[in-house]
Structure 1
Amino acid sequence: MNEPALKAAHPHNAARHPLPQRVSPAQALVWLKGGWGCFIGNPGVWIAISVIFIVMLFVLGLVPLLGWAVVLIGFPVMVAGMVLGCHAQAQGEPLRIEHLFAGLKVHAGNLALVGVFYLLGGLIAGFVSVIIVGGAALTGYIVEALAGLGLGLVSGVVLGSVAFSVLWVLLITALWFAAPLVVLRDTPPLDAMKLSLSACFSNFGAFVVLGVLIYVLIWVAMVPAGLGVLVLVPVLAGTVYSSYQDVFGEVPALPAPPDHVPPPEGTE
């Protein structure tokens, strides 16, 4: 990816704190269609990017003790690279495998900070759920009733799971637009996550529909021995880019055809 294209992707004269727009729930289908459009624009390169992306996450996850932390911190960097690949396609530029690593050239530090916040959020979600389960078990023990202890454990596990799920959803919504905002709007990482959270809740209906559709697509992608994931990854990357453009008022997801210009008078 050439240097001018990287600079154009995040102009410093652009608004760093754009206001999210509200869209209808039906736009979730449009976003997925835009993601599919990005994929079919160059399926061979996208599949290669998916393979490298999945292998890198797997290998990093094997690193003892810190592997999972490295995966969470590096995840936004690679997502940003795929978003830049979608942006290049939308600008009529060729998609390249090295787009996956383009995030390392554009605000790598800020993208890594997004990953750090993602990691901390995940740790907090896990800690809160453990506290809830432990508190419920302790309550059952204090009342000195075996049945109460069992009931406390069951209710604690249920409440802990609910709390973890809610906090994780909040974390995902804070992450959804963060990478595009950092690389395309030059937005500071914490501000990008706050804007992402605000944008997702401003369009609650659209993201509920999108979440259900993605859940179904994940199961469908796993049916052919998991090979559908190689298609799902770029489709989701394109969906992130398409939804970002829609909510934050960027350029169209796919290049629009030029307007018809009538010939000058006196010519055929």
Structure 2
Amino acid sequence: MELPLVVGVDGSEPSLRAVDWAADEAALRGVPLRLVHASLWERYEGVALSAGLGRSSEQVLADNIVEAAAKRAHRREADVKISTEVLPEEPVTALLREGHTAFALVLGSRGRGGIAEMLLGSVSLAVAARATCPVIVLRGSHDNQAKSEVRGRVVLGIGDEPENSAAVRFAVQEAAERRVPLEAVRAWRCPGHQTTDYPLMAGEPARLHEERAVATMDAALRDAPDGVELHRRTVEGLARKVLLDASADADLLVVGALRRHEYFGLQLGRVAHAVLHHTACPVAVVPQRA
């Protein structure tokens, strides 16, 4: 059974860009596309009202939203198999459940009623921080950065736990499907207490930290297939700034998020949180079990 690519839709411009991107991605990977709209209309208008008087105005709106999204996806990628569903429940809960049987979830940066697109919406943030499957959040404004192959590069942030990394596997597959290079980036810093004013020793602490960064990257990419054009880069600086700079002209930024079994709150990490809020390209947050 092929797992679908699931898109959360609400009729907003960001969610429609997510539909565009997801349609391209589904065509690229040859997987079904599932469009989901979650609404609490039954809670507010009542099941009895909808049963006695026909469909409520909110239900009609919800049906129209998914129908319009499906038509848009079909116009963009006619060969992709598309299904839709309206779920009468809270969006985060619905999307998290959908993620259990999805290849990935695709969301816009903000939904209806968003104040500013530069800030990430609460639904996208909550889903990215708790989902069991990869979550791709479409960043950017109204320049339609939804097309899967615009600039021809996937950027991967190498984290602290590189062995058998789900983020690495996801990024490698994305680059392979797109037939574009993969740029793996590992940030490193030399702690302030390790610096010295002695000229003959000034470079030693930095060299050791850079060597560790190189070793971490080599371990993460040990099983990368030969068919992917791979570029490795270690950069001194804050990880979030390094990745934001690297992704400025990328098609997709991929980062990992560690999920701990004993913890049930938001599990995102500072780096993933920062790039979700500030990067200009789509961001894929890939969960990794501790």
Q: If the TM-score is normalised by the length of the shorter chain, which range does it land in?
A: under 0.3
Find the structure with the greater CA-based Rg: 1
Structure with greater helix share of residues: 1
TM-score (norm. length: structure 1): 0.24
TM-score (norm. length: structure 2): 0.22
Larger RCO (CA under 8 A, 6+ residues apart): 1
